[in-house]
Amino acid sequence: MTEVAESVAGRMPAASRTRRMAGGPRLRRLVPALYIAFLLVPIYWLVNMSLKTNEEIVSIFSIWPKHPTLANYMVIFTDPSWYSGYINSIIYVVMNMAISVTVALPAAYAFSRYRFLGDKHLFFWLLTNRMAPPAVFALPFFQLYSAVGLFDTHIAVALAHCLFNVPLAVWILEGFMSGVPKEIDETAYIDGYSFPRFFVKIFMPLIASGIGVAAFFCFMFSWVELLLSRTLTSVDAKPIAATMTRTVSASGLDWGVLAAAGVLTIVPGALVIWFVRNYIAKGFALGRV
Amino acid sequence: MARITLEGLAHSYLPAPRGPEDFALKQLDHVWEDGGAYALLGPSGCGKTTLLNIISGLIRPTRGEIRFDGQDVTDLPPEQRNIAQVFQFPVIYDTMTVYENLAFPLCNRRMAPRAVDARVREIAEMLDLGSELRRKARNLTADAKQKISLGRGLVRADVAAILFDEPLTVIDPHLKWLLRSQLKHLHRRFDFTMIYVTHDQTEALTFADKVVVMYEGEVVQVGTPDELFERPAHTFVGYFIGSPGMNILPAEISGDRARIEGHELPLGAAYGRLPAGARVEIGIRPEFLSLARAGEAAGAAVPATIRAVEDVGRYRIARTRIGEHEVAVVAPEDGEIPSDGACVVFDPQRINVYADGHRVQEGG
Amino acid sequence: MDKTWNNKGWFFVLPVLALVLFSAAIPLMTVVNYSVQDTFGNNVFFWAGSEWFEELLHSQRFHDALWRQFLFSAIILAIEVPLGIGVALAMPRKGWGVPVCLVTMALPLLIPWNVVGTIWQIFGRVDIGLLGHTLFGLGLDYNYVRDPLDAWITIIVMDVWHWTSLVVLLCYAGLVSIPEAYYQAARIDGASRWAVFRYIQLPKMHRVLLIAILLRFMDSFMIYTEPFVVTGGGPGNSTTFLSIDLVKMAIGQFDLGKAAAMSLVYFLIILLLSWIFYTVMTNAGAERGRATGGEGGR
C189-231 residue pLDDT tens: 888 888 899 898 988 888 788 888 888 888 888 888 888 888 8
What's the confidence (pLDDT) of residue A189? 84
Question: B138 to chain C nearest CA, in Å?
Answer: 6
Read off the pLDDT of residues B139-179 as tens digits, 9 standing for 90 and up. 888 888 888 888 888 888 778 888 888 888 878 888 888 88
- Chain B residues within an 8 Å CB radius of A1: 77
d(CA C224, CA C240): 9
Q: What is the pLDDT of residue B46?
A: 85
- Residue pair B38/B209 in contact (Cβ under 8 Å)? The answer is yes
**Alpha helices (H) along chain B:** 48-56, 98-108, 113-126, 142-154, 173-190, 201-207, 225-230, 235-240
| Nearest-5° Cα angle at C82, C81 to C85 | 85
CA dihedral B304, B310, B313, B315 (to 10 degrees): 0
**How confident is the model over B244-257, as a mean pLDDT?**
88
Amino acid at position A98, single letter: A
Measured CA to CA, the distance from residue C46 to residue B92 in angstroms comes to 66
Does pLDDT of C294 surpass 60? no
Distance of residue B139 Cα from the nearest chain C Cα, in angstroms: 5
Percent over 70 (pLDDT), chain A? 85
Kindly list the strands in the beta sheet with B325-332, ordered across the sheet, starting from the edge strand earlier in the chain.
B305-311, B315-322, B325-332
Start-to-end Cα distance in chain B: 40
- Position A250 pLDDT exceeds 60: no
Least CB-CB distance to C193: which of A21, A38, A255?
A21
B104 interfacial to chain C (CB closer than 8 Å): yes
| Residue percentage of chain C with pLDDT more than 70 | 90
Name the minimum distance, in Å, from the CA of B186 to any CA of chain C: 21
Q: Under an 8 A CB cutoff, do C184 and B139 touch?
A: no
Mean pLDDT lowest for which of A7-21, A87-101, B323-337, C120-134?
A7-21
Once rounded to an integer, what is the mean pLDDT over residues B175-186? 82
What percent of chain A has pLDDT above 90?
11
Sorting pLDDT into bands at 50, 70 and 90, what band is C161? very high
Residue A91 has a pLDDT of 92
Least confident range from A88-92, A183-187, B360-364, C283-287: namely C283-287
The pair phi, psi for residue B39, each rounded to 5°, is -115, 140
CA nearest A213: which of A129, A279, A268, A126?
Answer: A279
Of B83, B93, B153, the CB nearest to C199: B93
Model confidence at A246, in pLDDT bands (50, 70, 90)? Answer: low
CATH fold of B4-240: Rossmann fold (3.40.50)
Arithmetic mean of pLDDT, C56-68: 84
Chain A interface, mutation test: which of C115, C169, C193, C214, most A Cβ atoms within 10 Å?
A: C115
Task: Work out the minimum CA distance from B104 to partner chain A, whole angstroms.
Answer: 17
Question: Is it the case that residue A281 has pLDDT exceeding 70?
Answer: no
**The whole model's pTM is what?**
0.79
Best-predicted range by mean pLDDT among B181-185, C163-167, C275-279? Answer: C163-167
Q: Is the CB of B72 inside 8 Å of chain C's CB atoms?
A: no
pLDDT of residue C43: 63
* Cβ-nearest to B58 among A13, A14, A18: A18
> Which pLDDT band, with edges at 50, 70 and 90, does A40 fall under?
very high
For range A276-283, the mean pLDDT? 72
Judge whether residue B205 has pLDDT over 70. Answer: yes
pLDDT band at residue A99 under the 50/70/90 scheme: very high
pLDDT band at A102 (very low <50, low <70, confident <90, very high): very high
Considering only CB atoms, which chain A residues are within 8 Å of C101?
Answer: 32, 36
Mutant choice from C23, C34, C247, C280 vs A, greatest count of A C-beta within 10 A: C23
Mean pLDDT value of segment C254-273:
82
Residue C34 lies in a domain: no
Range of the domain at C83: 60-292
Taking CA–CA distances from C170, the nearest residue in chain A reads A285
Query: Please, which pLDDT band fits residue B259 given cuts at 50, 70 and 90?
Result: confident
Q: In angstroms, how far is the first alpha carbon of chain A from the final one?
A: 34
pLDDT at residue A22 tops 80:
no
pLDDT level of residue C74 (50, 70, 90 thresholds): very high
**Residue B196, Cβ density class (10 Å: 0-12 exposed, 13-18 middle, ≥19 buried):** buried
CA distance C39 to C54: 17
Contact B59 A11 (CB under 8 A): no
Angle at C192 between CA C187 and CA C196, to 5 degrees: 75
- Number of domains chain C contains: 1
Mean predicted lDDT score pLDDT of chain C: 81
Q: Cβ of C181 and B83 within 8 Å?
A: no
Residue C124 lies in a domain: yes
Judged by a CB distance cut-off of 8 A, whether residue C192 touches chain B is: yes
Measured between beta carbons, the chain A residues lying within 8 angstroms of B58 are 18-19
Contact A13 B60 (CB under 8 A): no
On whether any CB of chain C is under 8 Å from the CB of B283, the answer is no
Higher-confidence residue of C178 and C47: namely C178
Chain A / chain B CB contacts < 8 angstroms:
23
- Give residues 118 to 177 of B whose Cβ lies within 8 Å of C: 136, 138-139, 149, 152-153
Q: Helical H runs in chain C?
A: 9-20, 26-35, 51-57, 60-90, 97-106, 113-123, 130-137, 148-176, 180-188, 193-196, 202-221, 225-231, 242-247, 256-292
Given a cut of 60, whether residue A119 has pLDDT beyond it is yes
Neighbours of chain C (3+ CB pairs under 8 A): A, B
To 5 degrees, how large is the angle CA A162–CA C278–CA C290? 115
pLDDT of residue A174: 87
Residues of chain B contacting A15 with CB distance shorter than 8 Å? 13
Domain layout of chain B by residue ranges = 4-240, 247-359
Residue C199 is part of a domain; what is its CATH number? 1.10.3720.10
* Interface touch A36/C274, C-beta < 8 Å: no
Measured between CB atoms, which of A117, A262, A285 is closest to C173? Answer: A285
Domains of chain A: 22-69 (no CATH), 76-284 (1.10.3720.10)
Instruction: State the Cα–Cα distance between residues C168 and A31, nearest whole angstrom.
Output: 12
Question: pLDDT tens across A147-166, in order?
Answer: 888 888 888 889 889 888 99
**Interchain CB contact of C191 with B (< 8 Å):** yes
What is the pLDDT at residue A20?
A: 42
Q: What would the mean pLDDT of A184-199 be, rounded to a whole number?
A: 86
Q: Is A249 on the interface with C (CB under 8 A)?
A: no
pLDDT of residue A171: 85
CA distance B51 to B6: 10
**What pLDDT is recorded for position C178?**
86
Report chain B residues whose CB lies below 8 A from the CB of A2: 60, 75
Helix (H) or strand (E) holding A129: helix A119-130
Q: How far is CA A126 from CA A149, A178, B118, B318, in A?
A: 26, 18, 54, 65
Distance CA C207, CA C172 (A): 12
- Mean pLDDT of the C169-174 span: 86
Give the pLDDT band of residue A19 (cuts 50, 70, 90): very low
The answer to whether position C18 is within a domain reads: no
Q: Is C277 on the interface with A (CB under 8 A)?
A: no
**Chain C residues in contact with B149 (beta carbon < 8 A):** 185
Contact C12 A273 (CB under 8 A): no
Confidence of residue C78 (pLDDT cuts 50, 70, 90): very high
Alpha helices (H) along B191-313 = 201-207, 225-230, 235-240
Sheet arrangement for strand B352-355 = B247-250, B280-284, B352-355, B358-359
- Is residue C190 within 8 A of residue B103, CB to CB? The reply is no
Using 50, 70 and 90 to split pLDDT, how confident is the model at C86? very high
| Neighboring chain C residues of B94 at a CB cutoff of 8 Å | 199, 203-204, 291
pLDDT of residue A248: 52
pLDDT > 90 fraction of chain C, expressed in percent and rounded: 11
Query: What is the DSSP annotation of B89-149?
Result: S----TTSBHHHHHHHHHHHTT--HHHHHHHHHHHHHHTT-GGGTTSBGGGS-HHHHHHHH
The CATH code belonging to domain B247-359 is 2.40.50.140
